Structures are given as C-alpha cells and as structure tokens.
Structure 1
C-alpha cells in the first residue's frame, strides 16, 4: 500500500475528500438539472443493455468487503445468490468513459470493521479502485437503515467513518500509517427510504457532513399503497435532508418490479413517467435503474432457494416492451449525461487522477 506522509496526512485533515473537488457540494456531481443514468446490476444484463438500448453514464455492481468479491476478481455468487456476474474488471475493460456505482455489502461484519480487523481489506479495496483511474461512487453498507440489514446506528456510523477515513488518507486509529487518498472514489450514504430498523429516525445513521459526498435512496414499486406511501414519504424527507446538507441526491436502486411489467400498456404512465417527474422535481443527479431479469436468478426462481419474490423482469428492451421507445427518448434528452468525454467534464473528473 502506498502510505501518505505523516505531515501530508496532518495537512490534509478533513479537507482531503479524495476527489476533483473538496467542497460541500459533493464529488463527481453533475450540474443542477443534469442526471447520470446508471444501469445495473449484473454484467451480462448490463452488456445486453449497452448493445440493445444504448450507452449510459455508469455501471452498477455489488461487492463484499470481507472477501473483496467482485473487486479482486469476478464474482458469480452461488446457487441461491441473487447475483449473476459482478466484476470490477468487466466495467474497467468494457465501459470506458463511465462511472461505477458499487454497493458494498457489510452485513454481519460491522464489529470486525470497528475493531480494525478489516483495515487490510479496506486498504486493498482502495488500491483496486484507485487502479481503475475512473470515478467510483461507493455505497458504504447500502440501505443502511433497513430492517433486513439490521445495522444499529452506533455500529454503522463507526464503521462508515473508519472506511471513509482510510480511503481519504487519514489514520483510522492514530496508530496505523495512512494510505495515499483514493482520489477517484466518492462516498455514498444510502438509505432504504423505507421503514427503519428499530423505528429510529434515519438521521441516527448519519456520520456527519465531512464523510459523505452523496446521499442515496432506494425507490421501488411496492405491492400495496401503504408500502408505496412509506417509501415515497421517506424519500421526500431524505431529499429535503440532502438539500439542507448540500449533498447531491442519488436514486441508488430503483425498479418497478413485477407491478408495472414493461409489456403492459400501463407501465409508462403508472411508474416510469412519475419516476422521471420525481427526478426532475427533486434535482436527482444520479438515477440507478436495475434493468434485470430477476426471474432468471436462482434466488427468485428455484424452489430449493425459497423461490417467490416480486421482482419480475424489469428490462426495458424485452420483446413486446411498451416503454422502450419512450425510455430511449427520455434518457437521451438534455437532462441525462451518458458515456464519454462530456460525462467526465460535467462531473469534474480528470482521468489521470
């Protein structure tokens, strides 16, 4: 690992946010009124989107901190995994001029992080991301306040802060020499924007302005109106919070699931058009759409894995799609920034960083 000098780390302090800018507005943030389209979530489906629909600004994948799966080498999961292929190398090789949006899975390991037992992994992760020389939006412990993750606020804030400090070239504990700041990584604080674990305020999980570059939310279609209402109301609160804290807002995970199938005449007006209207109304600066055939994943289709699930097939380009033409027209509009030199210029990223 490349270590920063003690003097450099001291001078760096809270201002070494590791990117093209170090102001409160965030890092790799497009101008107001502009949105990055990010497509997920597994390599095969992303490749098909690129060929059949067109380029996007970014690629979305998932990785485990305690194994560095999908970062050290491609990860295909296991029989009952909701995964497919996730690979940092696939993005780095096949999608020049784009950003990566990475969901970092940390369930069950917060105490290990907080004891410093995974510092080597955090540093190695930083080096693997640095080597891409491309912008990375890292969702640290995504959907941090969700009941299904069971992160207590105290554990999470401590773990998030430790990861942030290490990646930004600061000592996590005052003992270990810091690494050089990983300048191409922006940190995303991602709320599920739903019912919180322990019914605590989402702000209990907030690590502080100095450690957050983006604020993210999940925004899905739900089975019943009460769940849809809960998701939208919480999303509104977090959008207001992001604005108050001067942080760009990202929809970090989103899909209509099976409730608005793309082959249905009601899909566009029922889910897609309202979603794009919400993006415009709230100045959302990154929209991560999960363009995925969930039914092809064993976790949702194999009875031995539990089966069930309500995810469906959310690929906009499936045969018989009633949304594809309007999708392509919308994401090629002036609001959306896609792959290429214009993207890096818009977000203030220099590829040689």
Structure 2
C-alpha cells in the first residue's frame, strides 16, 4: 500500500539535513508514512495533562513536544468515551498549540469476568458502539493523531489472542478509514517488558502492512535498551517500510534523582539507541513520579522511581542538550 508523505515538517527537516554532518547520529530512513517527519524524530511527552505541561515548560519553548499522550479503553461506555474526547479537546486547545498531535493509547482490556482481553468480542462486533464513539471523539478533537490500537499487544497482562487481536485491529482501522479520520495507526509491541518474545511470536499479532501506518515498541527498564531485540525489530520495520515510534518510554527503576549516575545508566544509552537506529522516527517520554500514580490509579508502579526530568538539574540540562540536536523535531 502506498503511503502518503506529509511535508508539514519540511523546514525542520531541511535544517536537520544541513546540520547532519556535524552530529553523531545515523541519518534517518524515510518511508513516506502518514505523519512521518522527513529526516527527524518527532518528540512527544505525557502522559497526563499536568505532567505534559511540566515537561514542556522544563524543556523550554523551542523544545516543545509535537505529540501529547493520552489513553482511553473500549471497555468504557460510549458516553464515557465521548466525555474523554471532549476533555482531550479542551486540554489540547488550552495549550494554544494548534500543531500539537494526540498520541492515543487505545486499550482493549477489561470488562470480562474470565480475565481475557476484549479483542475477540471487538472483532465479533460486540463493541461497535464504542468504536463509533471513539471515532466521534477523534472527529471532535479534530487534530491529526496517532492511535496505538491495543498497545503492548503481546504482553501477558492484556491476554489477547493472535486471531482476536488482528480481527479487532482491522475492524477498528476499517471504521476509522471509512470515516476518513486523520489518524495514523501504530502497531506497538511491549518489547522487553513482555520478555521479550521471539520476533516470530510477536509477528503472529501483525494485521498486515495494508492496515498499519507505523510500528512501535515501548522501552522502560535499563536492561531493555541494549537488547538486540530492539535493533532486530527496527530492521524488520525497515524491511516493511514502516517508521518506528517508541510509544512509551520512562527510566523505570532508575529515575532522575541521582543525576549523572541516572543519566549514564538510562538516558545516555537510550538516546544513543535512538541515534543508532535510523528507522526510529518518534519517541514519547512519560514524565511521572510513579509512586504517586501507583497510589492514585492502583497499579504496582510504586518502585519505578521519580522520572520527572525537572527534578534534577543535571538530568534536565543533559536532556535539553540532547533535544537541541538537529535530529529531533519539536513543535
């Protein structure tokens, strides 16, 4: 399937191309995917409105993220999904940034007594009202968006089946395309958090190139970064002519409070990984104090660390310098 090349980032790409010889990163591969930047890496953050704003303010206006992370589940009622859409529109409009793009994690778990994901029921049509409400919400938001359908699909915590996941993905994507919504779909793996699984097992969840715009993988713990699996995943994405989004990234179990030590353990290797893999065209940083959100939401995140870059001056200054490379595309 031929992809549409979006050129709204052309000026930044031109400047990046002029500077590329002066920096130590692999020139990006360009595949012409929907909302794919030319020669650069889209910068995103989140994953709640306040956390996003704190992150953007800490970095400064000239490093403002392009992508704004948010989440919704198809297990909710259509009314709740529409309420979510109204809230996203309100929060995005409040930033005053017309070019800010939602990066939506569309969850397909919850609501069944046997603990399985909703993928089979969604593929069967049981949640068509929720899919319609989600499309209505995207239309209400009215911005070009990335949607990571059933993100971290191979993770055991989601309990998706290969057949059910593919069927639900196609059903959701077909509906969004019939509505002609400005959406790029992202097939997002759990990566190291799920094992990682052999690439053949992960690929068993693949809906097919005709239904996918980007590939993605989430990166958390420091030991995931040097895994050959990520480079292999990027190589395979390149063979399928798909750009890669690092959909959720945070220095799990490391944090920022130890300054340079934390930078050397997680941030430095992470950004080196981006620079070394030319298929990577976007990353989205989760700027959270995880113990707070663990208590607030009831998840077992209490020991993930304080990952808010503004809480350590050394990490913040190093991060700003990294974002000043011509590799990165800001708003």
State TM-score, norm by structure 2.
0.80
Partner residue, 2:190: 192
Tell me how far 1:335 sits from its aligned partner: 1.2
* 1:50 has 2:43 as partner: no
Aligned mates of 2:147, 2:263 — CA distance in 1? 30
1:246 match: secondary structure = coil
Contact kept? 2:72, 2:107, Cα under 8 Å: yes
1:165 match: secondary structure = helix
Aligned mates of 2:123, 2:50 — CA distance in 1? 35
Partner residue, 1:9: none
* 1:101 has 2:103 as partner: yes
Tell me how far 1:186 sits from its aligned partner: 0.4
* 1:293 has 2:285 as partner: no
Report how many residues are paired: 293
* 1:72 has 2:78 as partner: no
Tell me how far 1:18 sits from its aligned partner: 8.9
User: 1:29-85: CA deviations, max 9, x gaps?
Assistant: 0113x011100101111122222323211111111123268852249xxxxxxxxxx
RMSD value over aligned CA atoms? Answer: 2.8
* 1:239 has 2:267 as partner: no
Question: Structure 2 residue aligned with 1:315, among 286, 308, 319?
Answer: 308
Contact kept? 2:248, 2:285, Cα under 8 Å: yes
CA 1:97–1:306 in 2, change beyond 3 Å: closer, same or farther?
Answer: closer
CA 1:91–1:261 in 2, change beyond 3 Å: closer, same or farther?
Answer: same
1:314 match: secondary structure = coil
Aligned mates of 1:197, 1:273 — CA distance in 2? 22
Partner residue, 2:319: 327
User: 1:183-203: CA deviations, max 9, x gaps?
Assistant: x11000000113369876111
Partner residue, 1:90: 91
Aligned mates of 1:99, 1:306 — CA distance in 2? 27
CA 1:217–1:288 in 2, change beyond 3 Å: closer, same or farther?
Answer: same
CA 1:198–1:130 in 2, change beyond 3 Å: closer, same or farther?
Answer: same
Partner residue, 2:248: 253
Tell me how far 1:294 sits from its aligned partner: 1.1
Tell me how far 1:256 sits from its aligned partner: 0.9
Aligned mates of 1:102, 1:291 — CA distance in 2? 16
Deviation >6 Å, runs of 4+ = 197-200
**Which runs of structure 2 are paired with 1:32-181 in the superposition (5 Å)?**
32=39, 34-54=40-60, 55-67=64-76, 71-74=81-84, 87-94=88-95, 95-107=97-109, 108-169=117-178, 180-181=179-180
State TM-score, norm by structure 1.
0.75
* 1:278 has 2:279 as partner: no
Stretches of structure 2 that go unaligned for 5 or more consecutive residues are 8-29, 110-116
Which structure's residues are more often helix, by fraction?
A: 2
